[in-house]
Amino acid sequence: MRQRYANLVRIRTLDPELDWLDIYQTMLRLEFPWDMKLGLNLAFNRSFSLPAIAAVHTATGELTERTQKRIDDTGLLMYEMVLNGFDQPRGRDALRQINRIHRPYDIPNEDYLYVLGCLVVIPTRWLQRYGWRQPCCHERRATHLFYRELGQRMGITDIPGSYEEFETWFNAYDAGHLTPNDDAAAIERATRSLMLGRIPRPLAPLGDGLVNAMYDDRLRRATRVVAPARPVRAGLHLALKVRARLQCWLGAPQKTPLFSDGINTRTYPGGYEINKLGPQTDET
């Protein structure tokens, strides 16, 4: 059991104000790789459902017509920044590409803040509910500082000063702005197959119900998704809780970090160039 908490012991020796990248990398690559990837998927899914943001995505067709590529591009750019930080060449290139992709759109600062809040809050909530252990205060602080740095380098202003403040802001904005809309419903239908791909094959017949159960009531309303049957919801909750307990009692720290052999995607089986990710415009 002592070995199970080796990474946490190390994290607690670090200073999140200085070592936030190291801590966040450890969370994603060693401590919670499956949960963090799923949490980030749910975060982007929610951010795509905000009416103003959903309208931009359906207008471009990036998420509804080129779904796999758009999701792969988003994941690659995000993971390049996590793996390399913001000051190494690949991390700088990924950030530059993100800023180039967003430059043509007149997106309000609060909508950018909402997307950032999704990335801070949604994966953390998933870990709090279904992780094999609770994220510690250092991990919550490092998560906030990683995305604060990302936000500042994207020119986002008024970023709340702590995880707790950001969660409070996010809750209020989410409650007031994540409303039912046809664009979000169209995006959800297009991206659903990607979520279904994460369902174990024996549970495939229950796939739609399980995906619906991963959403909360507000996200289901925004995307016009029906509430799952109560047994499906309860079964998923129980299965995830059992998985967490088994991981805690029987698991061991992951020895090989996530993405140690590179980031593999369906769209780019032979590799990719960072400056070619995302929609290509005349300026590239």
Q: Which residue has the higher pLDDT, 282 or 220?
A: 220
Q: For residue range 1-11, what is the model confidence (pLDDT) as tens digits?
A: 668 999 999 99
Q: pLDDT at position 201, please? A: 74
Residue 47 lies in a domain: yes
Per-residue pLDDT band for 199 (boundaries 50, 70, 90) equals confident
Residue 254 domain-assigned (yes or no): yes
Which pLDDT band, with edges at 50, 70 and 90, does 281 fall under? low
Q: Considering the domain boundaries, does residue 208 fall inside one?
A: no
Average pLDDT over residues 118-137: 98
Q: What is the pLDDT of residue 283?
A: 46
Residue 127 · residue 32 · CB < 8 Å: yes
Residue 281 lies inside a defined structural domain of this protein: no
Q: What is the mean pLDDT of residues 157-169?
A: 98
Q: Is the whole model's pTM more than 0.85, yes or no?
A: yes
- CA 29 to CA 256: how far, in whole Å? 8
Does the structure show a pLDDT above 60 at 135?
yes
Average pLDDT rounded to a whole number, residues 146-174? 98
Average pLDDT over residues 185-213: 84
Q: Mean pLDDT score of the chain, rounded to an integer?
A: 94
Digit-coded pLDDT (tens) for 21-40: 999 999 999 999 999 999 99
Domain annotation covers residue 202: no
- The domain tally of the chain equals 1
Q: Is the pLDDT of residue 284 over 50?
A: no
pLDDT confidence of residue 196: 79
Is residue 219 situated within a structural domain? no
* pLDDT one-digit tens code per residue, 81-122: 999 999 999 999 999 999 999 999 999 999 999 999 999 999
Per-residue confidence (pLDDT) for residue 253, from 0 to 100: 87
Q: Does 203 map to a domain?
A: no
Contact 275, 97 (CB under 8 A): yes
Q: Is residue 107 part of a domain?
A: yes
Average pLDDT on 253-265 reads 93
Structural domain of 187: 3-197+244-276
